[in-house]
Structure 1
Amino acid sequence: MKLQSDYSFAETVDRLKTAITGKGMTVFAEIDHRAAAASVGLDMPPTTVIVYGSPKAGTPLMIAAPDFALELPLRVLVREQDGTAFVTFNEAETFKGKHGLPDPLTDNLAPAEKLISGTIKR
């Protein structure tokens, strides 16, 4: 899912990290692709991936379908294009049955999706 943020790139990144940690989840990493590109003399628009999750929500998924660990922790991409921030993430529905995950367990992922959508809109 790709959504346009109502906030600047930097504010979108900050708001998402604050919202994620505010709901008791962990931000495991923040990957700044623009900085990585600059380190090798390349330029690109602001592009950051936030890697986040919750062992409480994710562990039952990995117990039910061990290969689902490839999908965890979750990720959300924030990028800027022509001065507008966009947020992209995998919808919970896209994980149904993936790696043998039983359909009802995708409900564990839905709250994060709603949190992201609600955080980037005024």
Structure 2
Amino acid sequence: MKNILLVLLVSISLFANEIIVKESHCSVNQTVQNIKNIVSKKRLHVFAVINHSGNAKMVGMKLNESKMIIFGNAKLGTSLMQQEMTIGLDLPLRILVYRDTDGKVKMAYRDGSWLANHHILNANKKIQKINNALNKITDKAGQCKKD
């Protein structure tokens, strides 16, 4: 039992600094649209949607369907940048929506702890707020009855 708990704790601590990947039950386009709708309802700003696969096609290359939505909260982001300007390299927040090699649609984003650890932030409550928001957004965005 102790070994199982130890493995679980190590897994959780490793997971906290990694990229989180979730499956979506929607198409790439519908997942992106769902994220945009959720983000807008939360009064966050959508800055851009980057069509990676579309860009690859323009240069004669193939890439599985892939789009990145960039969004954020200027008040929260500014307060983090006031503490450590280099976090601006990783803000606004982004979620990558893509079709994997098995044809499944996935959503990927960085755990907020990564931001804190790589930019030496002391902002646990703000990082937890980011994590909660990203988790809720992706959970909801990946739910579709029919595409």
Normalized against structure 1, the TM-score is what?
A: 0.90
Question: Is this contact kept in 2: 1:51–1:75, CA < 8 A?
Answer: yes
Quote the sequence identity (%). 28
Q: Secondary structure at the match of 1:97?
A: helix
| 1:75 aligned residue | 94
Offset at residue 25 of structure 1 (A): 0.6
1:118 aligns with 2:139: yes
Offset at residue 56 of structure 1 (A): 1.6
Offset at residue 23 of structure 1 (A): 0.6
How far apart, CA to CA, are the structure 2 residues paired with 1:24 and 1:115?
A: 15
Question: Is this contact kept in 2: 1:20–1:27, CA < 8 A?
Answer: yes
Q: CA RMSD in A?
A: 1.6
Number of aligned pairs? 122
Unpaired runs of 5+ residues, structure 2, are: 1-19
How far apart, CA to CA, are the structure 2 residues paired with 1:84 and 1:107?
A: 29
1:8 aligns with 2:49: no
Question: Is this contact kept in 2: 1:57–1:108, CA < 8 A?
Answer: no
- Find the structure with the greater CA-based Rg: 2
Q: 1:46 aligns with which of 32, 53, 65?
A: 65
How far apart, CA to CA, are the structure 1 residues paired with 2:24 and 2:89?
A: 28
Unpaired runs of 5+ residues, structure 1, are: none
- Deviation string 1:11-41 (CA, Å, 9 cap, x unpaired) is 1111011111111111101110111111111
Task: Tell which deviates more after alignment, 107-116 or 90-99.
Answer: 107-116
| 1:30 aligned residue | 49
Offset at residue 63 of structure 1 (A): 0.7
Q: Aligned ranges for residues 47-62 of structure 1 at < 5 Å? A: 47-62=66-81
Q: What amino acid sits opposite 2:63 in the alignment? A: M
Q: What amino acid sits opposite 2:115 in the alignment? A: F
Question: Is this contact kept in 2: 1:47–1:78, CA < 8 A?
Answer: yes
Q: What amino acid sits opposite 1:56 in the alignment? A: K
Task: Tell which deviates more after alignment, 104-113 or 35-44.
Answer: 104-113
| 2:113 aligned residue | 93
